[in-house]
Structure 1
Amino acid sequence: MCEEVSPDVVEQDQVNKILTAVVQGMNPSEGSNDVRLAATRALYNALSFAQANFSNDMERDYIMKVVCEATLSPEVKIRQAAFECLVSISSSYYDKLAPYMQDIFNITAKAVREDEEPVALQAIEFWSSICDEEIDIIDEYGGDFTGDSDIPCFYFIKQALPALVPMLLETLLKQEEDQDQDEGAWNLAMAGGTCLGLVARTVGDDIVPLVMPFIEENITKPDWRQREGATYAFGSILEGPSPNKLTPLVNVALNFMLTALTNDPNSHVKDTTAWTLGRIFEFLHGSTIDTPIITQANCQQIITVLLQSMKDAPNVAEKACGALYFLAQGYEDIGQTSPLTPYFQEIVQSLLSVTHREDAGESRLRTAAYETLNEVVRCCTDETAPMVLQLVPVIMMELHKNLEAHNLSSDERQKQNELQGLLCGCLQVIIQKLGSSDQTKYGFMQYADQIMNLFLRVFACRSATVHEEAMLAIGALAYATGPDFAKYMPEFYKYLEMGLQNFEEYQVCAVTVGVVGDICRALEEKVLPWCDGIMTQLLKDLSSNQLHRSVKPPIFSCFGDIALAIGDNFEKYLMYAMPMLQSAAELSAHTSNADDELVEYTNLLRNGILEAYSGIFQGFKNSPKTQLLIPYAPHIVQFLDLIYLEKDMDDVVMKTAIGVLGDLADTLGSNAGSLIQQSLSSKDFLNECLSSDDHLIQESAEWTKLAISRAISI
């Protein structure tokens, strides 16, 4: 009952009775272990509606006493359930925990060091949960706690640091000999390392001096557990502390790690070393770091070691791919020349070899190799574009071979589908890279027909996961081929329609809607013959109760793409599209008392609606039919007023909204000018955007100010 009932429908009197019964059931003198266990689990589910009880000192003290006593029960399942209650309390009632933290630390430390694994894991989870709470508070208020803060930060982690870190470091030495990385097994060492990483994010630089002695003491020990634990500790603390604090340590450690990855006799140590290198490249390498960790001097050694490790056991090879992924990503914004350019061919060759390994199905190795190949291509410079072009026939041949395989078992069929998805994803990245580079665009076009033909064959296989990847790749192809994409539409349209009708796999539906936008931008007016079918399907989607709500914002946005492409030919859809936009706008304008998730979704919805309005107004600009839009203008101004006054729009919505105000003035001229002058908040909204720190919002507002002044002076 406690699990199923919504907190909103339970009256406080009933809550008190439920909690009294549950807490009584947890009392050791009241009944059997079965009753105590059931009561402890019931309390876990009742915590969501116990706010009033947790605000009452006496009642809270009593609940906490009973829970803490249950963590010491002789019965392991009761101890585990009691710690689960503590984890839940830590996230729901963080601000009420201060008086109990010393006792909780003692209880959790004892459990982590002495209790059975299921209990110890929950005890660690308590501290991970406290970290999550403090990270959120610090992120939201930037450590500046004023009267505005809903919940102050008590810095529990900072206070517990001298005792908490040694306890977590001990867990890192409790690895299991046969722990199978492929199964995602969760054990004490993994939980301890994860918590240590969260602690590092919570306290930053303060963690480094507490962890370094442990690393230095264990990193060269003969027992693999100590070497692996030390490496894991180092990898865990790389996110949080400042680069200035970590860079000198990493410069010392890097050479050691590269040697260990090549020479350590233990596979677990190699696995964790490759993972740690990936973390170094992820957090301490790239355009934002002052002192480069990767230099001309060590770049070749790093690449040699990583490519060599890709031939190692699947779990080690997978982590080596991950390290290379972040190494490539660090050079994304580098401009013309990248240190990776001389090794590009060799890197690509090695990654392709990994995808052909017989054991590439283990440890997600094949997937990691393709993801890394994609990142290497995505982040490469124009210099390497001709080499990327040579990849096209290679990946096309892989996809062709895959599509030729028939009479497969269901297991083989699943693997075939996974590989199809990876190959479509790879082609998408290659198309995006080549389609945006002038020097290779012409060379790429010779393959466009064959690529499209392969994608159509993929669609004919009717697999939802692959459908999504192939759709995204077609969106990239439409962008690259521009108006020439029109020749593929007769054959492709049926699959486009199938995607728009796919309510069950709503991600496929959402991706397909996005691709309609790509096609509109590519074809412009040439998309007209297909618009009746597309608009009919989009309107049908919006009217359906089966449609997942996440698909609605992209559909509205797509209206704008269609209107921009076909201009005032959108006239025949206005009477259907505008009422839908209006009713969605009314729903999204009022969000008082909404939770964070709903506010986030509402902002997505508003942005979709505003993008639709923007596209429609821009599409009709300078057309004799602009007067058709005049009846809708008052509602749009009212919508902009309402969302401004709600004060919960994010920067993306702000930029789109101020742009729509400009579009309104720009397209309707004096007909909009008077409406805008009468508006409740347009002037305040415009001034707020003009003084925004975000230069994109500022630019948009400058343009809107001009458009409005033109409209008013007409």
Structure 2
Amino acid sequence: MTQEGSSSATLKQSTLETLGYVCEEISREDLVQDEVDSVIAVVVQGMNKSENSAEVCLAATKEAEIRQVAFECLVSVVSLNYVGLEEYMEGLVELTTNAINGDEKSVALQAVKFWSSVCDEEIDLQEFGHSCFIAKYLPRLVPILLEETLMKQEEDQDQGGDDISNISMVGGTCLGLFARTVGDDIVPLVTHFVEAKISDSHWRSREAATYALGSILEGPTIVKLAPLVSTNLEILLNATKDENKHVRYTTAWTLNRIFKFLHCPIITSENLPRIMDVLLEAINDVSNVEEKICGAICNLAQGENSSLLSPYLKEIIKSLLAAAERTEAKESKLRATAYETLNEVVRCSNLAQSSSVIANLLPDITGKLVQAMSFPIRSIEDLVQQLELQATLCNVLQVIIEKLSGTEDTKHVVMQNADDIMASLIKAIGSHRTSIHKEAMRAIGALAYATGPEFEKYMPELFKHIQMGLKKFKEYSIHYLMACKNFEECQLCSITVGVIGDICLALDDKILPYSDQIMTHLMENLQSDALHMSVKPPIFSCIGNIALAIGSHFETYLTPVLHIMQKAAQVCEEMDTSDKELMLYGKKLQKSILEAYSGILQGLKDAKAELLIPYAQPLHEFIEFIFSCKDHHRDGSVLKAVVIAMEDLLNALGTQCNCSRAVLSVLKTLTTGCDQKTKSSKKLRFGLEE
């Protein structure tokens, strides 16, 4: 690269590509500043247009490729040594703006991506106060982005896709990163462009202005953005009927983001009727526009005032169901998006004002699930779509059941429909497809909570599917190439474990006829190397639920369970504290072990408390270990579990628990900092003082 006249274009390009790969692989610590300077100098040289190369067409083409690769290399350098770029910034601003203004598209794309990379670094550095390049050069960069990228839409561009070769989309992404980096400072630089072009006669101008407005909504303050958005809201609502599909799509995308980031000051009781009329009409547009309109409705539902949408809930649900049923929805993301929006609308609704609408939805979705299982299958695509639809409908049922179970006034609706719901879910599980099994089990867990003791009548038919969920992962564990499938089955196991906990809470000791087989599976799974470690904490928590449900009958399992809990506690103590991911897992494991102790202590305290005396000391030692960890390795939820477990131990054994001085010391310290008004804190302090 540095030998004048002796390097071919191909050699230069290969050299720059190699530098780029090297920069991607090495860390900041692997290079000293002088080496970074050398890399930047070489890259900048590679960007300069050769006077001689223009004489030959082929050579000219190669020069463009070299400049492209040089920018790609520079993108890698940004993350390698952001601070080291400072002395080169003036030159890099000139090089990148020239490239965006008039170079080949491939070169311009990389020039824009360079600034996106700088933004990524500055966003990460904001908390340290080191970001400065974007703010300094913002007045020079924003106008070029607006005019030279956002205005260069392609007629056939994939709206709704993530086309990294589309200069307009890449420019909008960069503009959004500018907004997140500098905040309010970007608003005045974009305002004139938006106001001048948003109602222009040319579709490119209208689309670019709308895209610019939508791109800067995350980062600046609501106070700074509200005037610009309020002024143009009616224009945007009208633009949902624009003759150009690109304008309609970008308008829907921008409205979606407005309702997400500026919901409170923009949406009022006065303009909401107009907004809802527009959205419910626009949801009948082409599928990619419909998807963004669904997102806009979702963000409206998530607003602070859940009552605002109550008058429109029936029409919203009707429109979403219709969108999900359209033919084109099967070939796009629309169906999934429509049902996801329906879920959020139900979750966020004011139940007191909309209970009848949601109640009517329950048998409707149950019927759709039954219908989905009878669709004719003529191809692999048909099978995939059917499975996705069934899983989605199971998820919708779960959300509706959870919503209606929230109050005693509406829980009876679930009870009335429980038989039909359970029959449809059992039939769905019978397909033996893991994706459906997982979602159906989640819905069954919600149904168990809603129906309580009445759920017992479903257990004989359900139990074989519970067993399948607990052991299916073993079918794939011996095949290395089936690792992904095994992980999916492990997820199913985790969900099934959670559902068992829900059923225990619903049935109490009525779970006893099934406890032997459940405990056998759980103990085997805890000792299985084939089961992903993330499933093991939920298993310990589930064991606590079982103990709480069956009470003194848990004596049968006590010795082996406490033995494996002690082994798990030892695993926590031996973990590598420098491994952040492993420490996060360790906290979950600690909490679950404590939850298992609590369930066992509560379950046995009335009839079999004396059996627990030998196991008090291991619990003390485990708690001492937790408090011996450095502060940054402690977790609030773990400390809460400690308090509850020790309270349960004191309630079960009283003075026989023989708390060590170390445990008493740490617990007194802990409870001194707790709210003295809380019930558990009072009980625990009372026990300690005794």
Which stretch shows the higher mean deviation, 588-597 or 426-435? Answer: 588-597
The alpha carbon displacement at 1:484 in A equals 1.3
C-alpha contact 1:582 1:635 (8 A) present in aligned 2: no
Task: Please name the residue that 2:197 is paired with.
Answer: 218
Q: Deviations over 1:261-295 (max 9, x none)?
A: 13x1111111111111111111122xxx4xx4222
Which residues of 2 match residues 265-664 of structure 1 at below 5 A? Answer: 265-285=243-263, 289=264, 292-331=265-304, 334=306, 338-381=307-350, 382-503=352-473, 504=486, 505=488, 506-589=490-573, 594=578, 596-625=580-609, 626-643=612-629, 645-664=630-649
Rate the CA distance shift 1:623–1:66 in 2: closer, same or farther, 3 A.
farther
Rate the CA distance shift 1:219–1:564 in 2: closer, same or farther, 3 A.
same
What SS does the corresponding residue of 2:329 show, helix, strand or coil?
Answer: coil
Q: TM-score, normalised by structure 2?
A: 0.87
**From 98, 114, 127, the counterpart of 1:126:** 114
C-alpha contact 2:449 2:502 (8 A) present in aligned 1: yes
Q: Deviations over 1:459-480 (max 9, x none)?
A: 1112222222212111111111
C-alpha contact 1:528 1:566 (8 A) present in aligned 2: yes
The separation in 2 between residues aligned to 1:27 and 1:450, in whole angstroms, is 81
Is 2:175 aligned against 1:196?
yes
Task: Please name the residue that 2:40 is paired with.
Answer: 64
C-alpha contact 1:525 1:565 (8 A) present in aligned 2: yes
The separation in 2 between residues aligned to 1:579 and 1:628, in whole angstroms, is 12
The alpha carbon displacement at 1:43 in A equals 5.2
Letter in 2 for 1:130: V
Is 2:156 aligned against 1:178?
yes
Letter in 2 for 1:174: K
The alpha carbon displacement at 1:232 in A equals 1.0
The separation in 1 between residues aligned to 2:595 and 2:185, in whole angstroms, is 46
C-alpha contact 2:414 2:450 (8 A) present in aligned 1: no
The alpha carbon displacement at 1:216 in A equals 1.0
What SS does the corresponding residue of 1:359 show, helix, strand or coil?
Answer: helix
**Larger of the two Rg values belongs to structure:** 2
C-alpha contact 2:206 2:247 (8 A) present in aligned 1: yes
Task: Please name the residue that 2:52 is paired with.
Answer: none
The separation in 1 between residues aligned to 2:539 and 2:4, in whole angstroms, is 55
Letter in 2 for 1:128: S
The alpha carbon displacement at 1:176 in A equals 1.2
The alpha carbon displacement at 1:229 in A equals 1.1
C-alpha contact 1:318 1:365 (8 A) present in aligned 2: yes
Identity rate, percent = 45
C-alpha contact 1:378 1:433 (8 A) present in aligned 2: yes
Q: Deviations over 1:9-54 (max 9, x none)?
A: xxxxxxxxxxxxxx99x99957773685377347525654454442
Rate the CA distance shift 1:28–1:491 in 2: closer, same or farther, 3 A.
farther
Task: Please name the residue that 2:138 is paired with.
Answer: 161
The separation in 2 between residues aligned to 1:623 and 1:155, in whole angstroms, is 68
The separation in 2 between residues aligned to 1:576 and 1:106, in whole angstroms, is 71
Q: Which runs of no fewer than 5 residues in structure 2 stay unpaired?
A: 50-61, 474-485
The alpha carbon displacement at 1:206 in A equals 1.7
The separation in 1 between residues aligned to 2:575 and 2:86, in whole angstroms, is 33
Task: Please name the residue that 1:86 is paired with.
Answer: 74
Task: Please name the residue that 2:655 is paired with.
Answer: 670
C-alpha contact 1:108 1:124 (8 A) present in aligned 2: yes
The separation in 2 between residues aligned to 1:528 and 1:165, in whole angstroms, is 68
Which stretch shows the higher mean deviation, 56-65 or 575-584? Answer: 575-584
Number of aligned positions between the proteins:
659
The alpha carbon displacement at 1:178 in A equals 0.7
The alpha carbon displacement at 1:344 in A equals 1.7
Which residues of 2 match residues 19-38 of structure 1 at below 5 A? Answer: 33=10, 37=14
Rate the CA distance shift 1:306–1:668 in 2: closer, same or farther, 3 A.
same
C-alpha contact 1:662 1:703 (8 A) present in aligned 2: no
The separation in 2 between residues aligned to 1:655 and 1:91, in whole angstroms, is 40
The separation in 2 between residues aligned to 1:669 and 1:156, in whole angstroms, is 65
Which stretch shows the higher mean deviation, 660-669 or 351-360? Answer: 660-669
The separation in 2 between residues aligned to 1:124 and 1:450, in whole angstroms, is 56
Q: CA RMSD in A?
A: 3.0
